[in-house]
Structure 1
Amino acid sequence: MKKSLILLYAVIIGFQVALAQKKASGTESAASSLSSATQGAERMEGFIPFYWDAKKGKIFLEISRFDTEFLYYPSLASGIGSNDIGLDRGRLSQEHVVKFQRSGNKVLLIESNYAYRAISKDPLEQQAVTESFAQSVHWGFEVMAEENGKVLVDATNFFIQDAAGAVQAISRTKQGNFRIDPSRCAFYLPHIKNFPQNTEVEATITLVGDQPGGYLQEVVPTPTMVTMRQHYSFVQLPELETYKPRVFDPRSGMIPMQYFDYATPVSEPIIKRFIIRHRLEKKDPTATVSEAVKPIVYYMDPGAPEPIRSALMEGTAWWNQAFEAAGYKDAFQVKLLPADADPMDVRYNIIQWVHRSTRGWSYGSSIIDPRTGEILKGKVTLGSLRVRQDFLIAQGLVAAYEEGKPVSEAMMKMALARLRQLAAHEVGHTLGLPHNYIASTNDRASVMDYPHPLVDIKGNNLELSNAYATGIGEWDKVAINYAYQDFPKGTEEKTALDKILSDYIKKGLYFLSDQDARPEGSAHPTTHLWDNGKSAAEELNRMMQIRKIALDHFSEKKIPVGSPMATLEEVLVPMYMFHRYQTEATAKVIGGAFYTYAARGDGQKIYEPVSASDQKQALTALLATIKPEALVVPDKVLKLIPPRAFGYDANPREVFKGRTGLTFDPLGPAEAAAGMTLRLLFNPERASRLVSQQAIDSSLPSLADIIENTYAATWKSNTQNGYTGEVSRIVNNLVLKNIIQLAANKNISEQARAIANLKVNELKTWLSASVGKQTDVNWKAHYLFALNQISEYEQKGAESTVVTPLTPPDGAPIDPGYEWLDMDMCSWENSSR
């Protein structure tokens, strides 16, 4: 009996071993295994076939192509509505070149590292680079079944994840610690689709957490439970041989992509740079004008209402003017998104209308083939509240609401004109163009600048018909020609591209971008955001005239009849701060220098300091912005703004900060505006440049000159009483604070610190001599307090107490608003690699 049991046991063991060997060799009939694993599931054919099991709520991928690269990118199909957090509807995340790789019973989704390559025919040279740099495994799947080289994996957990980085975004903006809750996640069936060249899957994702921040509390019904939809795209990559990358030139006005090529000869640069662009070819490259083999088509979100939708489509269509100039016919088109189209689908270039709780930036993003720089999908996000801000600015400039009478059409016309320009701007990013912030000084030569409304003065009135330019700019045609020109066969491309560049230089066109414009301490005198005019100082003087007219005309008629009077403050803010961007532009003239992205032999100006006369003109214009007479709020306006009405809480971003509680602080706007000017004037980098420029050329202003002229216009000017006198004392305090901060700043040149310290001591001497002569209690107190501040600085240095001045309401995007974050900056998010 025992022998029989042993024999039976041996037979069973042998059968199990044979079965395991059969499975490992693949000779088992997998048809039964695959069919049993997917029994009752719906098969969806396409790029990567998959099964949807409705009973289990699972998705199974059928993988047959291993070690074949494709593109994977997640995105947000629905957002949370907060500009500050940045999780907007339609937001694209990073694209990844990935492949399935099998190892035993596992399938890894591996991302290749295209930042480091060896463009070589030698496989060992390529292998050396591949093995020198890390790859990334995005997921590991277990094989459920297989048959004839196909394997089945459960991809449910892969799709029920936070691939778009919502948890990190919430944490980064200090809105709480959240985690994904799988029990509250599910697939979103209407947007689960499969096509021959792309596979699209979407899931409802819920994050849970405690102590949600204010931004979440504003927009989420139950802030501890944040639900959105995340989308996942698998896309077939284009054949490498069918696309020819175009070399990047910093003068071209195109966004670069780059990588290290370790097969490069030592005598040549190891970093290779190419532009990003859509694929576009002429049907007949030899023709002066030809249709495109496949035009670039952008689709408009039908969720944008009229007349906004038409304005956005008109502005987007301007780009066809640039392609026509490059010899194409109807190569760029704009259409309404079909009802059955998914905006996340890679086949559609999309202009999406997005709603948020607060106004914020618009974006031009792209999905790019990281191997070549080819743009596979353009995605524009336009915030719906921006148009309301543009209308508000026009309202402050020209509105005169009368009961029973129609309001001026000029306000809506200006707002729609801005929308056309905005749509063209953001689409430009998705065509491969960065910002060109010098264009506003060259007859508004590019839609890729940030345009401030150009307001005309007609007698004692303001006129808006010329606020924004119409049509594509001359510079934009240059950039499109460089990027998309399809040269006839036999053309030496480098020579032809160089000619495009040399031709625009001869025409007097220029290109300078973010690095030259965004930093407050940047040096180029004509490269800035939201400025106008060839001379920053002259335009600032004109802006101050516009501002004065707007404030002189300011009345209750700036809001509709029946509106709470307190809401006048929202209209007042952009009028009072109307000069803010031109002030920033003018500050860059001081210690500034003209330069270009010059290449050897191209004849462009390389570097030249701004002349002494222009710097002095700029200083005079800046100091005029802090004159007490310019900073006081008109008495008639002060009498129009009561504390907030019940149910009409102020958005703190859209109104002035103050120190008087519920009432409107008449000194708050002056402190904010003067503090802005002085912060710009005494920027630490600018202070160091002033020292060095004067050392090289003694005719140029020095830091000591700037400080002494500022003292003369503030501390040492005639004392005044009343409201004007109180404003002048605020300005004086701000001047002293800024000079003390310079003297204590360890990041600037030591000579700049030394000069600032000297000027603090000189002011101390002047104050000590003046305080005894003062009989007015306010001025006497003011001088003594300043002496105490200087004494504290002398004792504590950088540790001395410096009260932070009131800041203006948030400025960008276009006064006032939310200053960029990281996305962008407006910018070309996910485009610049």
Structure 2
Amino acid sequence: MRVRMWLGAVLLVGLSTAFAKREAPPSATDGMTAQTGFIDVHVDAMSARVLVGVHALDAPMLMVTALPGALGSNDVGLDRAQAGEPKLVEFRRLGAKLLLVQRNMKFIADSVVSDEVMSARDAFAESVLWSGDLLNDDPEQGPWLVDMSSLIASDQHGVIDRLASVQQGQYVLDADRSGVLTTAAKSYPDNAEFEALLTFSGSGSGAFVQQAVADAKSITLRQQLSFVRLPDAGFNRRAFHPASGGWSVGGVDFAQPLNRDLDVRWQARFRLQKNDPTAARSTVVKPIVFYLDRGTPEPVRSALLEGARWWTQAFDAAGFIDAFKVEIAPAGMDLADVRYNAITWTHRATCGWSYGGGIVDPRSGEIIKGFVNLGSQRVRQDLLIAEGLLAAHAPDADPALQQQALDLALARLRQLAAHEVGHALGFAHNFAASRTGNGSVLDYPHPIITLDGEGRVQLAKPYAIGIGDWDTFVVAHAYSEFAPAQTATALATLRHDIAAQGYRYVSDADARAPGDAHPDGVLWDVGSDPVASFDHLLQVRAAALSRFAAGALPADRQSGELERRLVPIHLLHRYQTEAVARLIGGAEYDYGLGGDATLGTHAVAAPRQHAALQALSRALAVDTLALPASVRAALTPPSTEYSRTPEYFTTQTGPLFDEAAATAAATALVTQFAFAPQRLNRLAWQQSREPMMPSLREVFDVLVASPWREAGRTNMRVRSTRNWVLLDAALNLLAGSQLHATVDAEWRGRLRAFAAELGAMPATNIDAGEGARLIVRYLDAPETVKLRPLPTIPPGAPI
């Protein structure tokens, strides 16, 4: 997962004020411990005060927060070493006060004409973040001196707002239980670092804070506040191209010519200069170095180092020798310090996402600091899935299976480290890379699972080793340097060549919503043929479930945990189901600029759409949804002192496993994607242009009517549960008011015709009669019907 952090662009015009050194007045700092640097720091440990000496007013700098001491909840997101949103600030004098002002960088004029610059600055409001009384008013006496303790010990990271936004209650900062940590105040030539202990008091009613905090009514964190000198000149900024695979910084620039877009964007990248700029291959002036958290244990540490170092291959291929390194952080290194690119091993109360990103100079796109946060429980989830697939703990299992499961988890960690470091280097997700195999670490990879001759699951080579061709491309496109006159042509050649290899680029905006259209932009899918991979995963799933009961649970775990371990195996096909559904009403298109892109969209061919629809019907087959008798017999309620978590199936059967909930969740895998209103709207228009495409009627008949028409005396409750989920989803689609009027009318017509069909079934078919009455009541008087909520699907990602 990538986290972007930038400020808007800025032009430093006419700044003649130098960062000259001046001695602070002895009367104001008498008895205090002093440090000189970018901002002078004076500390009084007994009174927990920090005075700062500012060497230049009206001089922009970067202010960044971080959390060296965090909350520990994945759902809240206040993680250890998490960087806050950077702000471009400067100190200004107002009478006897010193103001800290945040520039409004959303709108600028990037011009050498000062009046043009000021016209944009004056048009949009700035923000005064803090003020303090000046302790000296004569610049000849030394730096502008001010007590900054109240700023350091304030909620600059936005903790209160974050807690409220995730419904954890209203909190206030308790000044009596907060204060500056004076021993952490440091001044360096290009940055100054401060830290505070912050205690927030509140009701403590939120479930997430109750789960993670010692006392949810009193949340105590440590906040770091950094002031950073902006980089000097000499960095060649690179215009962002939508097909580059990178992420951008920028803003609205009113200095652009009338025939140019006001939206100006730059590629985010580190400063990387060859010692010999004329050489095709050269060592570099300053390599990019990332430091891995010393708190990372083995064997995780070795796996993360190996995976993150894969990027060395890409930089070497681009002609940069020894340009990228990953090392264990030296003892005492502060991972939140903006001088260091950091990979933090982050503990949370539950399994959660990892992410990478950067703090960027808004004027140019230069990455000042890269950061990566890796959730520590994720590897345990991968191990749990592998053990369930392999039945590694069966009494007669080969002991090597447990090692094979561990090997999968460590292989996934290598991929994860490379993935998140890729974001920190300036690169975005490419969810289409899986169509060419495991072609990029910037995709979300699904493990490669095979079956041996006896039908047993094999995980011999679950993930690719090393970076892919796409990763080599994004490094070359972002970091290779060319003569100015040749840059545009050289970059266009790189984009042409990677496309010629069969790679497409689909990122987050076109990949995460249930109704997304691009067939290649799917998370956690596998293989070049979605339908073939789907059918293979159903076979793998059946094989794993047949051996699950006897081999999925380690001997030292409470018996109720078997149910939790069932979830990812029963729903093993969840991501490939989305890949199949994406073909229905799907359309291909590319990112680019008007001068070099292929314009327009191209609907997925009709035969592929029909094949996808039939594949979804196989996901709804009773034999797919029903659990083996061996699994049902082994499932046990959680032991005393233990309870179900959101990672279990829900239950309406008290302490016992609820098979209906498992059936409903597996059914909802299909409906949440196939019945996305955007998909049905697109499909209706595609079919109106090309009659061979699936129609709305066909979708309804295959996914709703046909299952209801099935007869059988086995697994009757599974069949009935599935049918009601399908009908509920079909009705809920109307309640959302997102269908085109013409699509809504046709869908209602199919429902009304289906109600008549159900009503004509024998009276002994109670479900059919009730279904018919529900449809008619809802269509005629929807305000009189309370539709059932759609089933809860336990979280699956990240894997």
Q: Do they superpose with TM above 0.5? A: yes
Q: Match for residue 631 of structure 1?
A: 625
What SS does structure 2 have at the residue aligned with 1:65? coil
What SS does structure 2 have at the residue aligned with 1:496? helix
Shift, 1:568, TM fit: 1.0
1:171 aligned residue (140, 164, 174): 164
Q: Does 1:398 align with 2:398?
A: no
Q: Match for residue 759 of structure 2?
A: 768
For residues 33 and 545 of structure 1, the distance between their equivalents in structure 2, rounded to whole angstroms, comes to 75
Aligned in 2, Cα 1:799/1:66: closer, same or farther, shift over 3 Å? farther
- Which ranges in structure 2 are unaligned for 5 or more consecutive residues? 1-21
Q: Match for residue 420 of structure 2?
A: 426
Instruction: String of CA shifts for 1:242-282, please: whole Å, max 9, x gaps.
Output: 11210111011010112222122211222211111111111
Shift, 1:744, TM fit: 3.8
Shift, 1:212, TM fit: 2.7
What SS does structure 2 have at the residue aligned with 1:532? coil
What SS does structure 1 have at the residue aligned with 2:220? strand
1:219 aligned residue (190, 212, 216): 212
Q: Is the 8 A contact 2:388 2:566 kept in 1?
A: yes
For residues 234 and 569 of structure 1, the distance between their equivalents in structure 2, rounded to whole angstroms, comes to 50
Q: Does 1:743 align with 2:737?
A: no
Shift, 1:507, TM fit: 2.2
Shift, 1:799, TM fit: 6.0
Whichever residue aligns with residue 325 of structure 1, its letter is A
Q: Does 1:291 align with 2:286?
A: no
Output aligned runs, 1:190-229, within 5 Å: 190-229=183-222
Shift, 1:557, TM fit: 2.3
Q: Does 1:471 align with 2:466?
A: yes
Aligned in 2, Cα 1:197/1:264: closer, same or farther, shift over 3 Å? same
Shift, 1:564, TM fit: 2.8
Q: Is the 8 A contact 1:402 1:561 kept in 2?
A: no
Whichever residue aligns with residue 761 of structure 2, its letter is S
Q: Is the 8 A contact 2:524 2:575 kept in 1?
A: yes
Q: Match for residue 538 of structure 2?
A: 544
Shift, 1:38, TM fit: 1.6
Instruction: String of CA shifts for 1:542-591, please: whole Å, max 9, x gaps.
Output: 11111100011112322222433222112211110000010011111001
Q: Does 1:276 align with 2:261?
A: no
For residues 572 and 605 of structure 1, the distance between their equivalents in structure 2, rounded to whole angstroms, comes to 45
Whichever residue aligns with residue 661 of structure 1, its letter is G
Q: Match for residue 440 of structure 1?
A: 434
Q: Higher Cα Rg: structure 1 or 2?
A: 1
2:785 aligned residue (800, 804, 822): 800
- My pick for the range that moved more, 209-218 or 611-620, is 209-218
For residues 309 and 221 of structure 2, the distance between their equivalents in structure 1, rounded to whole angstroms, comes to 32
1:481 aligned residue (468, 476, 480): 476
Shift, 1:681, TM fit: 1.0
Q: Match for residue 332 of structure 1?
A: 324
Q: Does 1:789 align with 2:781?
A: no
2:661 aligned residue (664, 668, 679): 668
Aligned in 2, Cα 1:771/1:743: closer, same or farther, shift over 3 Å? farther
Q: Is the 8 A contact 1:552 1:634 kept in 2?
A: yes
For residues 696 and 664 of structure 1, the distance between their equivalents in structure 2, rounded to whole angstroms, comes to 48
Q: Is the 8 A contact 1:258 1:272 kept in 2?
A: yes
What SS does structure 2 have at the residue aligned with 1:344? coil
Q: Is the 8 A contact 2:66 2:81 kept in 1?
A: yes
Q: Is the 8 A contact 1:74 1:95 kept in 2?
A: yes
For residues 55 and 710 of structure 1, the distance between their equivalents in structure 2, rounded to whole angstroms, comes to 72
Whichever residue aligns with residue 680 of structure 2, its letter is A
Whichever residue aligns with residue 330 of structure 1, its letter is D
Q: Is the 8 A contact 1:114 1:371 kept in 2?
A: no
Instruction: String of CA shifts for 1:414-434, please: whole Å, max 9, x gaps.
Output: 000000000000000000001
Q: Is the 8 A contact 2:357 2:426 kept in 1?
A: no
Q: Is the 8 A contact 1:51 1:61 kept in 2?
A: yes
2:146 aligned residue (148, 153, 177): 153
For residues 152 and 303 of structure 1, the distance between their equivalents in structure 2, rounded to whole angstroms, comes to 38
What SS does structure 2 have at the residue aligned with 1:647? coil
For residues 525 and 41 of structure 1, the distance between their equivalents in structure 2, rounded to whole angstroms, comes to 64
For residues 145 and 275 of structure 2, the distance between their equivalents in structure 1, rounded to whole angstroms, comes to 43
For residues 32 and 134 of structure 1, the distance between their equivalents in structure 2, rounded to whole angstroms, comes to 35
Instruction: String of CA shifts for 1:503-529, please: whole Å, max 9, x gaps.
Output: 222222221101111111001112100
Whichever residue aligns with residue 378 of structure 1, its letter is G
Shift, 1:788, TM fit: 2.5
Instruction: String of CA shifts for 1:756-812, please: whole Å, max 9, x gaps.
Output: 10111111111111133x3xxxxx221222123113203322662111133221122
Aligned in 2, Cα 1:789/1:66: closer, same or farther, shift over 3 Å? same
Q: Is the 8 A contact 1:550 1:575 kept in 2?
A: yes
Aligned in 2, Cα 1:225/1:541: closer, same or farther, shift over 3 Å? same
For residues 743 and 209 of structure 1, the distance between their equivalents in structure 2, rounded to whole angstroms, comes to 41
2:132 aligned residue (132, 141, 154): 141
What SS does structure 2 have at the residue aligned with 1:366? strand
2:67 aligned residue (56, 59, 76): 76
Q: Match for residue 825 of structure 1?
A: none
What SS does structure 2 have at the residue aligned with 1:809? coil
Q: Does 1:262 align with 2:254?
A: yes
Q: Match for residue 3 of structure 1?
A: none
Q: Does 1:691 align with 2:676?
A: no
Q: Is the 8 A contact 1:98 1:111 kept in 2?
A: yes
Query: Number of aligned pairs?
Result: 773
Aligned in 2, Cα 1:490/1:525: closer, same or farther, shift over 3 Å? closer
- My pick for the range that moved more, 130-139 or 611-620, is 130-139
Q: Match for residue 124 of structure 1?
A: 115
Q: Match for residue 10 of structure 2?
A: none
Shift, 1:214, TM fit: 1.3
Shift, 1:407, TM fit: 5.4
Q: Does 1:346 align with 2:338?
A: yes
For residues 484 and 736 of structure 2, the distance between their equivalents in structure 1, rounded to whole angstroms, comes to 59
Whichever residue aligns with residue 770 of structure 2, its letter is F
Q: Is the 8 A contact 2:748 2:779 kept in 1?
A: no
TM-score (norm: length of structure 1): 0.90
Q: Is the 8 A contact 2:761 2:769 kept in 1?
A: no
What SS does structure 2 have at the residue aligned with 1:218? helix
Output aligned runs, 1:426-825, within 5 Å: 426-459=420-453, 460-487=455-482, 489=483, 491-600=485-594, 602=596, 604=598, 606-651=600-645, 653-717=646-710, 719-722=711-714, 724-772=715-763, 774=764, 780-797=765-782, 800-814=785-799
Q: Match for residue 16 of structure 2?
A: none
For residues 338 and 31 of structure 2, the distance between their equivalents in structure 1, rounded to whole angstroms, comes to 30
Shift, 1:643, TM fit: 1.5
For residues 302 and 150 of structure 2, the distance between their equivalents in structure 1, rounded to whole angstroms, comes to 42
What SS does structure 2 have at the residue aligned with 1:250? coil
Q: Match for residue 386 of structure 1?
A: 378
Q: Is the 8 A contact 1:34 1:146 kept in 2?
A: no
Give the aligned CA root-mean-square deviation in angstroms: 1.8
